[in-house]
Amino acid sequence: MQSHPADRRSTIPLGLNLEKDMSSHSNAIASRQNRLSDSLGAFGFEALVVNAGPTLTYLTGLHFHVSERPVVAVFTPDMQPHLVLPSLEMGKASRAPFDLATFNYGEDPKSWQKAFDIAFESAGVGAGTIGVEPGSLRFLELQYVKGAASDAKLKSGQECIASLRKIKDIEEVALMREAVHMAESAVEATVQAIKPGMSEKEIASELVLQLIRNGSSSDLPFEPIVAAGPNSADPHAVPSSRRLAHGEVLLIDWGANNDGYYSDLTRVFSFGEPSEESLRIAEVTAEANAAARAVARPGVSAGDIDRAARDVIVKSGYGKYFTHRTGHGLGIEVHEEPYIRGDNEELLEPGMTFTIEPGIYLAGNVGVRVEDDMLVTDSGSESLSTIERSLTIL
């Protein structure tokens, strides 16, 4: 495809020779864009503007790195998406399996505003209300958007975006299911290699290697948490040089990346017999996890799930040691909506995916967390993860 300067518009036609395995993906992208078009009016937006990141990929299937060169897509009702991007990315844009108007710019930052101006004019975006992602749109992109639509009002489009992304389609569920399988296979291989005296960093390195060997992208959802002994009482511990001692609890929180869709799991192990208290809190945490999974179904609120897990831990006497929400949505981001916390009365719907991860953390002593990845079905829910939930003695 020939590169066009910013003052000319190029239209990328719908691909006619897509492979069969791309057809389903193309249909999914088209469905998402159609749903967005319907949603914009419902939320009072003239347009939705997103920069490089998960939502842009979700709506286009295109992957762009966040860098010093802005990439911004403009979505309006019943119009093809408009994409502002550097000239060097035009080859990537040419692979879009849908009609796409592109507006490219060169290396001179002085020319970038012109590309935005032409793109927004072509899209018919000037005044009115524009939705943006408050946690993603940087000042870099914001200044060009404001320059191109100075009379527009910018408003958070988070709710509009979440209304689309939190209901997963068949393709997304399949990718997440395989991401869970990758993660479970990787940790099973990792624990077989664990020996007393290994450091948290050494175990984490082995886990990363096994994740990649089992099919995960090297761009993991997050750096695995590998925490031994008292470090396990820190919910977001970072692997250190501390070495695993006999009988200590080893908490592992990890996930795989399958074509941009994530898994996120936590399990606990020990090399040798752990303390009675460690076994007790592991048992209570697994019971809390099971209680929350049992109530997850359409029409139940996110808060109900949190309360189901928390009630078990409170009744056991460890309530004050459960210091975080019970879970979070999961998909193309490791934390997204719906958030499984006690004050969230949002009702679950089929297609939602989220974690259930109650934990008990005794500072300076030991911590346990049991985390599963859940899918809401038409009649109930399914745990995509099945690996043993009790404390496993290696």
Mean of pLDDT values over 253-265: 98
H helix and E strand count, the chain: 10, 20
241 burial via Cβ count (<10 Å: 0-12, 13-18, 19+) = exposed
pLDDT of residue 14: 33
Q: Which domain holds residue 273?
A: 170-393
- Residue 51, token pair as written in the block: 């920069």
Question: How far, in Å, CA of 11 to CA of 122, rounded?
Answer: 12
User: Is there a single domain that holds both residue 62 and residue 211?
Assistant: no
User: Total domain count for the chain?
Assistant: 2
pLDDT of residue 78: 83
Q: Is the pLDDT score of 15 beyond 90?
A: no
* Percentage above 90 pLDDT, the chain: 91
Residue 363 covered by a domain: yes
Q: How far is CA 221 from the centre of its chain?
A: 7
Question: How far, in Å, CA of 322 to CA of 245, rounded?
Answer: 25
CATH of residue 154's domain is: 3.40.350.10
The more confidently predicted of residues 127 and 159 is 159
User: Is there a single domain that holds both residue 235 and residue 130?
Assistant: no
What size, in residues, is the chain? 394
User: Is there a single domain that holds both residue 39 and residue 83?
Assistant: yes
Tell the residue number behind the tokens 């460690």, with chain if given: 278
Residue 158 covered by a domain: yes
Greatest Cα pair distance in the chain: 71
b/e sequence 26-44, b meaning 16+ C-beta within 10 Å? bebbeebbeebeebbeebe
Under a CB-based contact definition with an 8 Å cutoff, are residues 264 and 225 in contact? no
Three-state secondary structure of 240-252: CCCECCCCCEEEE
Q: CB neighbours (10 Å) of residue 217?
A: 17
pLDDT of residue 246: 94
CATH of residue 382's domain is: 3.90.230.10
Report the chain's mean pLDDT, rounded to a whole number.
93
Of 133, 149, 165, which closes a domain?
165
User: Is there a single domain that holds both residue 51 and residue 25?
Assistant: yes
User: Is there a single domain that holds both residue 143 and residue 185?
Assistant: no
User: Is there a single domain that holds both residue 150 and residue 187?
Assistant: no
What pTM, to 2 d.p., does this model score?
0.91
User: Is there a single domain that holds both residue 154 and residue 246?
Assistant: no
The residues near 192 (Cβ < 8 Å, ≥ 6 apart) are none
Of 107, 131, 165, which closes a domain?
165
pLDDT of residue 21: 55
pLDDT, tens only, 194-249: 988 999 999 999 999 999 999 999 999 999 999 999 999 999 999 999 999 999 99
Tell the residue number behind the tokens 């399914």, with chain if given: 382
Mean of pLDDT values over 39-62: 96
User: Is there a single domain that holds both residue 108 and residue 45?
Assistant: yes
User: Is there a single domain that holds both residue 280 and residue 151?
Assistant: no
Read off the DSSP letter of residue 391. P
Q: From the CA atom positions of the chain, what is the Rg in Å?
A: 23
Under a CB-based contact definition with an 8 Å cutoff, are residues 319 and 346 in contact? no
pLDDT, tens only, 56-99: 999 999 999 999 999 999 999 989 999 999 999 999 999 898 99
Question: How far, in Å, CA of 74 to CA of 56, rounded?
Answer: 10
pLDDT of residue 20: 47
Question: pLDDT band at residue 24, thresholds of 50, 70 and 90?
Answer: confident
Residue 253 covered by a domain: yes
User: Is there a single domain that holds both residue 48 and residue 71?
Assistant: yes
Q: Is the pLDDT score of 22 beyond 90?
A: no
The residues near 226 (Cβ < 8 Å, ≥ 6 apart) are 200, 201, 203, 204, 207, 237, 239, 250, 251, 252
Of 165, 180, 197, which closes a domain?
165
pLDDT of residue 326: 98
Mean of pLDDT values over 24-29: 84
User: Is there a single domain that holds both residue 190 and residue 160?
Assistant: no
User: Is there a single domain that holds both residue 188 and residue 142?
Assistant: no
